[in-house]
Amino acid sequence: MTVSPHFAFHQGVLHAENVPLTTLAERFGTPLYVYSKKALHDAWGAYQQAATGRNVLVCYGMKANSNLAVLNEFRKLGSGFDIVSGGELARVLAIGGDAGKVVFSGVGKQEWEMRAALKAGVKCFNVESEPELERLAQVAQDMGKVAPVSLRVNPDVDAQTHPYISTGLKENKFGIAIEDAPGVYQRAKQYGSLDIVGVDCHIGSQITEVSPYLDALDKLLVLIKHLAGLGVNIRHLDLGGGIGIRYTDETPLTPKMLLDKVFEKLDAQGFGHLQIVLEPGRSLVGNAGVLLTRIEYLKHTDAKNFAIVDAAMNDLIRPTLYDAWHSVEQVVTPVGGQVQTYDIVGPICESGDWLARNRSLALAQGDVLAIMSAGAYAFTMASQYNTRPRAAEVMVDNDTVTVVRPREKLESLFEHEVVLD
């Protein structure tokens, strides 16, 4: 059984919806990112069902996967977008997304990005420091506009996740310490070019328990009550994203498990009128994609067995960056063959170039493998290291396949470089 029902075996061959992955590997080559349209829609539906009857805006955290085809599916479903750069805003606008449903997060917003977002008319800037607040106020004033703002508050809550993707502790670079927030909100009130609309919080990613969210929510509600006493009335509460997915044997939260508890607390404390903003990324796309790769060589040594494949850390950096686990499936179920323990490694000239370690598989040279759960933070973190063209992306819709980003041509990697005389 794979980690996603949208990638399942039929007659011994792993399929994306109704398309054999063997067909895709032969037709488009490997490495290859493969996405399931139905998986995107089903993941979105879980949030919609959980939010039924409530004022909730889901803003897809597009840093997880910013392919235009993926963004457009969510746009058609009614999604807003959580962006962290001017480039991501440009992608939203390119697919006709509603800027009024965009929240602009990120600790290092540049002036040109602020101007672009103000011109587009974004829903909110999630401000992460006092210097950023001052810069945004000045930029908005110079443009003759009023910038809608919320402060990203750091509640010092441990999300119980990998330290590289924990964002709600005091030692993290994100947000404003919750004890400092009232003073910063009061300063924000002094700027005629700012409109205070919300409170924002994002404590981390790949969170599999509800308790960290509720710990943060308790602190946020205390803050909102305090702000009301200071004459700062909040219209929306942004709880960020971070719901985890199943990579192996996890039992992650569902949107309903989280929102039921959130609504319960809001209603009990008289805050049921607040709009809730969510910024899910991984939970919408993580299990909607796989990375196909072909075995080039099997190398057996006294210390290790290696399956050397044509995908590499430049295609999927999460394992070496986070020590992340991705399930590995043989696209064609082997018949016979000796099961051995392999490290799945790529051709890049780095010892850290590995995709999986210590996997028991019966492999043969030329086999195609599927690296599962590669819909999030795979292509968006890909590079051209070792002058390797980035792989193609395809979207499967039932039995229809569309190339949503072609494989890069080798010459394109250096076509704009200049050689001096």
Contacts of 51 (CB under 8 A, 6+ apart): 58, 255, 259, 276
Cα 9 from chain centroid? Answer: 27
Say whether 280 counts as a known binding-site residue.
yes
Q: Does 349 participate in catalysis according to the annotation? A: yes
Return d(Cα 236, Cα 169) in angstroms, integer.
22
Q: Please give the full DSSP string across 369-401, using - where no structure is assigned.
A: EEE-S-SSSSGGG---TTT-PPPEEEEEETTEE
The DSSP bridge pattern shows strands 305-309 and 340-345 to be parallel
Which residues are CB-contacts of 235 (< 8 A; sequence separation ≥ 6)?
197, 198, 274, 275
322 known member of a binding site: yes
Annotated binding-site residue? 350: yes
Residue 36 has phi, psi (to 5 degrees) of -105, 120
Question: Are 151 and 127 a contacting pair, CB within 8 Å?
Answer: yes
* Integer Cα distance of 301 and 320 in angstroms: 22
Tokens of 68: 């235009």
CB 293 within 8 Å of CB 31: yes
Residue 318 annotated as part of some ligand binding site: yes
Catalytic choice (59, 124, 201, 349): 349
What whole-number distance in Å separates Cα of residue 83 and Cα of residue 215? 25
CA Rg, the chain, in Å? 23
Number of helices (H), then strands (E), belonging to the chain: the values are 11, 21
Helix/strand/coil percentages in the chain, nearest 5: 30, 25, 40
347 known ligand binder: no
35 annotated binding-site participant: no
Question: CA 149, CA 200: separation in Å to the nearest integer?
Answer: 10
CA distance 93 to 6: 29
Q: How many CA atoms lie within 13 A of 100 on its CB side?
A: 1
Residues, the chain: 421
Residues that constitute the known binding site: 242, 279-282, 318, 322, 350, 377
Q: Which residues are catalytic?
A: 349
Residues that constitute the known binding site for pyridoxal 5'-phosphate: 242, 279-282, 377
